[in-house]
Every structure is written in C-alpha cells, then in structure tokens.
Chains A and B, each alone.
Chain A
C-alpha cells in the first residue's frame, strides 16, 4: 500500500492552490500541491483581462479605495455575498498585487503625460500625473466605478500564474503534476487527506495530511458551451460531496457575454473595457438602449441577458451555429489592438479567420454568451474551512467563500484566488501547525481499497450504456434547461433527466479493460461526479424562486430579499441518493455594512424589499452622520471584521495626505 505523508496537502495548482502553498511553506510546513496538469497550464493561465485592486494610481482610478471596491463588489453580487469576506478581500487586494509585482509580474505601468483612450467609443485624451509614472496601471472593466483592473496586456492570468508558481518553486514547494484526487479520506467529520491517482502511470496513492485544501477551480464543463478549460469538471467539488461536505450557491453560474462563436474561446472583457462595443445584425450598437449608464460595460449577467433579449427580438445574426451578435473592436485602431489585445486578435484570426483590426464589418467577431464562472462551490467559513468537515479547507473558484454572491465582477476572480491564497492560506497553515492527527492506518487503507475496488468494479460493469453519451446528454440538458434564462418547468425536467443519467451511469460498459492508463475508465468515474455537481446546480436553481444576479428566473423576475436573502446549501445525505439535499443559510441584514438596495444597473424597482433593509439603512446612515474620524474608523463601526494584522494595514496611495 502506498501512503505519503505531508503537513499540508493542496489539491489544485492554479493561482489559489499555489498561493496557499506559498503561505504554508512560509510557515515551515511540508507542502504538497497536486494538479491534473502541469500547474502552469491550470485554468488560471487563461484569465486575460486583469485583476482588480484599488490602487488608484492611474488618473481614471483616482479616488479609488477599499470602500469603492467594496461597494462595487457587493452591488455586483446582488447582495448575495458575505460582506465581511468582501471587506477582507478589498483590504488585501492592493497588497496582493504589490506582492505579485515583487515576484515579477510585469504589470503594465503608467506613462506620464497624455494618452489617447477610447471611452464610450469616443477618442479622449487623458493625462497621467508625473508622480504616477512607473506605478501599476489599470484599465476599465465591467461593473466598476473606477478604472481598477490591473493587467499585463491580455495575458494577466498567465503572468500571475507563472510568477506564483516560480515563487512556490523557489520556496521548495513539492509540486506533483498529472495527479488527480479521486476521493477524500474522512472519518467522523474530519478530513485526513486524499486518495490520489497517478495520471502518468495509473496507480493509486493515499496522501495523508494534517490539513487538506481544495483549490480545484470551477465546474463549467458540465455545460455544453463554456469558456472553461477541458479540465474544469468539478471533480474537486464532487469528492467533497462524496465525503458529505456542503456546497454553497451552486446555482450561481455566470455567463460571459463575449466568447467567440462557435469555439467558445473567451474574448476578454478588456475588449469592451478598452472601448469595444456590441452590435446587432444591422450593425447597430444596442446596449445604450438597454443600459443608458454603463452601456456595454454593465455587469456580465446584465449584458448577457440583454444580448439574448436582443436576439429574441430578431436582431441576432444568423449563422450555421445558430444566432449570434457582433463584437466590434476595430474602432480602437490597429495599433492599440496589436499592442494591448494581441491575444484576442490571435484567437479571432486562428479560430475564425477574422482580423479584428480590419475596418468596419470585416473585423467584427461573432459572439454569444456562454457559461463562464462558478460563483458557488465548497461552502467555507471566512477562514476558508469547510463548514461541516474539519481539516478541510478550500479557496479560489472552487470555494464558496462568498465574496461573489450571485454574480462576480470581471477581474475580481483572479484577485480572489491570490487574496484568498494569502488569507485562507495563512489560517490553513496555522491549522496544520496546531492540528496533531493520530493516523489510523486502517482507515486510510480502507479508503484506498474502497477506491481500488470501485475502479475495478467499473471495469467489470456489463451494461448497455455508453459513458460518452451520458456525458454529452448531461451537458446539453444543462445548456438548454439550466442556462441564462431559467424557469420552473425546465428546471424540473432538468433535475429529473439528470437523475436518470446518474442512474444510467451505473449501468455502463467499458470496452478497454486496462486498469492503468485508460481514458474511458477515467470518464467512467468522472461523469458520475460531474452529474452530482450538475444536480446541485439544477436543483438549487429549481428551488430558488427569484432572480438574483446571474440566476435569472423568467417566472420570478424580481430579486426577493424577503424570502431569498440566503445561501443555498446542497449536500449528499446518503451515498446512494440520486439527488442532493438542500437547506438554506440566512444572510443577516442587520450585520451588513451595505443593506440591499438598487444595483445601479438593470431594471429599477425590480426587487421585493425586505423591511429590515430600510431599518438597517437608517442605522447605517445614523452612524455615518454621527461619525467623527476617518473612513477606516467608520468602517470598523459599521461592520467589524477579522483579518490578519499584516493584511489589515492601510494601503498607501497617491494623494494619501489629503485624506
């Protein structure tokens, strides 16, 4: 029997996992990171647009600070987030970006003097200050008041991931790639590590650890059309579900407005951030009609829905792959595109044969909203620990730490990964240090044997179902019935169909009987995992009879703060159940720094108000009015929150003296 021991085990080598590894190894803990793929290929590398952090260096970001970032994020989440976590996040984000700079992320820097930019499709000249020269620059992004998104051209995730991996390597973190966690070792509500499959050789090993952290990213691949990488299958969520762990808000799925048709490869929000616009079949720029204030840059859920709405009005462009709309960046000029949106140009040229720098219609790129981000995930406390399994932590996209609520802002996600890696990583490290476990080798052995038997049994199955068909069907169901516009009828069908598929997955037949490297066997154990995740999404969506953020119900158009200001918890009660059990976790308005109100975009008066919101608002107003002192003290009065001292420190900004 193969057992490996370590202090901290980190499953997932994206930005979140690796930043956590840096935190634990800085504490002197032995740290192992496992990943399905060489870590630098993790999906984090695909993030193009940028990372939000309220540095306020550039002229268009002047006046930005934690408070503004906080408000943007809470509004973006449609009040579904945990505001304390958002506070932890916004306070740490500037530090994260400065730390990354020192690790070598070549952030785009400010050049003093005049610069021509495109705002609202109009060329405008802005003048950067002398003292800002050489500091980190930022660009405009959807749903933000200030220019806050720091970037390296359109390969931000790539450069961040490389810097973080490099730093982890410098610290001697043990990175093991081509390894997959297929189950957790748990007993009596505590986690002791994971069973890991070697994807180079095929064997199983038990990794025993004082603490285990899951940073396996999103689960977009349960949808037919997704911007996510092929490895984003949600197996990390599934192993937690299988161990009885809680998921939070799994139905909160974000759709991105501008993946290119038909490949689903994302064209960054930076396209619109830099001044690109959406057009319909007549070449008409339609977003200002729907969203006069933020126009093409309203938050993602809003833009995505408006696009589909517009298509429904018959304004979509017909194509062999269905209807789509156009994204026009040619107005930015060839020079700008070739410098700042080079990857976009590359994608469009390679996959569609379109050069977006070409003038007018020739350069327009076909786009359509697709699945993009999973706000929900493993439900954790602000310290990152699972709410119901001790010793199990999670951060990054895989977690429902809950700073995104029902919609995440562009650029807030890579930012979350590193910030959570710092904060949660530190708590996680402390936990691993304190937690002395008594290893019951029998228990480890049992789990290992169980998984071994499970795989052997899969090979022996002699049914008449084909695992690839099941997978394909699942992805189509999710696409058609649990998509951008949802309704009770469809969702009901979806849940039933998914249950049938889960049942069917036990009645398959695998042609190739090789136990080691066998792609079909891999599918056979992964698809049921994906189905469980999909069921959490579908059932959560079916039950949530309101529209909030990205979760949009055609039969319940309003945000319902009276009944639904809560978090969906889904979990697998019994191993053999065909569907998850749901329960709800209430959000306490009286503790909120910013009680529910109008988001500032979307339709006004589109919510069922909770009377407590007004009560809390009055309270907040009163405290604010009576407050003497700076904004930090005020914040502390409104909503105190816990955070490591080094992260809570004030962030230095240009023009600090004026405060």
Chain B
C-alpha cells in the first residue's frame, strides 16, 4: 500500500540577501518505484515551486544529482524512496562544492579546475593522420582504460572524503583516478616524472589518507583504492 513519506530538504539561496538557511519539510504519497528524482519533481511542480536541485539524465549516467541523503553522499536519481523504512529522508547539498541554491551545487567549476590541474587530456607529440589506420591497442589495455574512464565527475568521492572536506585544495579521488587513467593509456607520452609534477604533493597523491570513503561511495564502483595505491607506489619511486 502506498504510504506517506516525508522529505526534509535544506533551503538556502546565497544570492538572495534575505534568504536564511533552513530545513523545509514536505509530505507526499509514495508511488511504486519512486526515486528521489520523481519525488523531488513532484514537490517542485506541486508543493514548492521554489525548490532547486540538479537533474539531467535521471538515469544515473550524467552525475548531476549528487546529494547527501540521510547522511550518505549518493545520486538522488538512483535512490529509491522505498529504501527508507521510516519514510523519512533528509537531503543536504553536497559539501566541498560551492552552493548555488538549496540542493544545487556548482560541481562544474570544481571539476574544471581539477581537469586543468591534472592536465586531464592525452599529451602527445605525434600527429595523427586520421585517414590512416588507428594505433593498435591491446584489447585488455583498452578495457582497463575504459574501466577508469567511466568516472562521471559526480563528485561523490570528493564529498565523501574527509580529507577534501578539511583541505580545500585536495585533488580528490576523481583527480587521482584521472591521472591513473592517462598513465596507462598508450596514446599518452607522459611518464611518471611528468605525472609527479601534477600530483606529487600533499594536495595531490600524498594528501590522500586512505579513508576509502571514495571507494565506498563511488556510484560507478571504480576501483579507487587500488588505483590510488598504484599511483602512490609509482610516485614514491619517481
């Protein structure tokens, strides 16, 4: 039978001087297979037209909808309301990212900085002739790269990492994973010493304290623990 659920969301509009942070409470009937995307859309269109949150793909693909859901950083569109036995769900915006409004945060700027900081692109001096055969790649290597390339910059690893919470400049698991991704790509000509220049400091790989919340909250199940460890081993040997 359908029950009533209660959603409590943080509301605050930093660009409005009169706005004060507060919790708003919404009650609504639960429907079969209801996700937080469905629930929040319902709230936004019927109860509170002023509630802001970010959803793009609503399918767990784009990484836009990270929130703190009953304390845990998760993707809202992939969270079923039925999971919460007492029917009470508290939503907070992701920490570590600048707040835009209510549940909407600016992950974009953070990720852009991260990408630029770790030079998140193929570095190569070779010019590709695109009408000729592509470079051959071992199938297994391509799969390994793909595995790490699945990261969708949702920022949950950052929002769950206490190091990132404390140290604003920490590059985060997302950044470290990205470096590993390029380091195993045969198209990329950078060597370990080059990568050291990007992450060889206490805001980079040596800032990670192996808290592993990243690994445990990554919605893509990326092997962050082993990859960070791998990079650490490489970086201390440079």
Contacts and interface: CB of A to CB of B under 8 A. Distances in A.
Contacts, number: 208
Contacts of B124: 102
A98 B130 contact: yes
Nearest to B19: A514
B185 to A, nearest CB: 6
Contact of A351 (B15, B35, B63, B116): B35
Interface in A71-118: 94-99, 101-104, 106-111
B51 A155 contact: no
Nearest to B110: A38
B170 interface: no
A320 B34 CA distance: 14
B113 to A, nearest CB: 11
Interface stretch (B146-154, B156-164, B195-203, B204-212): B146-154
Given A169-B115, A351-B35, A651-B131, A346 B60 contact: yes
B111 interface: yes
Contact of A166 (B52, B60, B120): B120
Q: How large is the interface on B (under 10, 10 to 19, 20 to 34, 35 or more residues)?
A: 35 or more
Interface in A553-597: none
Contacts of A652: 131-133
A347 B60 contact: yes
Nearest to B60: A350
A95 B131 contact: yes
Interface residues of A, number: 78
A231 B143 CA distance: 31
A106 B49 contact: no
A265 B50 CA distance: 27
Contact of A200 (B51, B106, B131): B106
Contacts of B137: 106-107, 109, 134
B232 interface: no
B52 A519 contact: yes
A358 interface: no
B22 interface: no
Given A46-B57, A152-B149, A512-B50, A229 B62 contact: yes
Interface in A321-349: 343, 346-347
A135 B142 contact: no
Contact of B50 (A96, A97, A170, A520): A520
Nearest to A201: B15
B61 A158 contact: yes
Contact of B150 (A38, A46, A155): A155
A46 B61 contact: yes
Contacts of A266: 59
A43 interface: yes
B134 A135 contact: yes
A98 B149 contact: no
Interface string A628-652: 0000000000000000001001111
Interface string B112-140: 10011001111010001011111111110
A620 B40 CA distance: 58
Interface string A151-170: 01101001100110011011
Contacts of A101: 134-135, 187
B188 interface: yes
B128 to A, nearest CB: 4
A41 B64 contact: yes
Interface string A203-246: 00000000000000000000000000111000000000000000
B52 A229 contact: no
A37 B49 contact: no
Given A158-B61, A347-B60, A103 B115 contact: no
Contacts of B59: 46, 263, 265-266, 347, 351
Nearest to B120: A166
4 tightest A-B CB contacts, nearest first? A134-B136, A38-B108, A166-B121, A106-B145
Interface of B: 13, 15-16, 32-33, 35, 44-46, 49-52, 54-64, 78, 80, 100-101, 106-109, 111-112, 115-116, 119-122, 124, 128, 130-139, 142-143, 145-146, 149-150, 152-153, 182, 185, 187-188
19 contacts: A41-B56, A41-B57, A46-B57, A95-B131, A98-B131, A103-B121, A104-B187, A135-B136, A136-B134, A152-B149, A155-B150, A166-B122, A169-B115, A169-B121, A177-B108, A350-B60, A514-B16, A520-B50, A650-B131
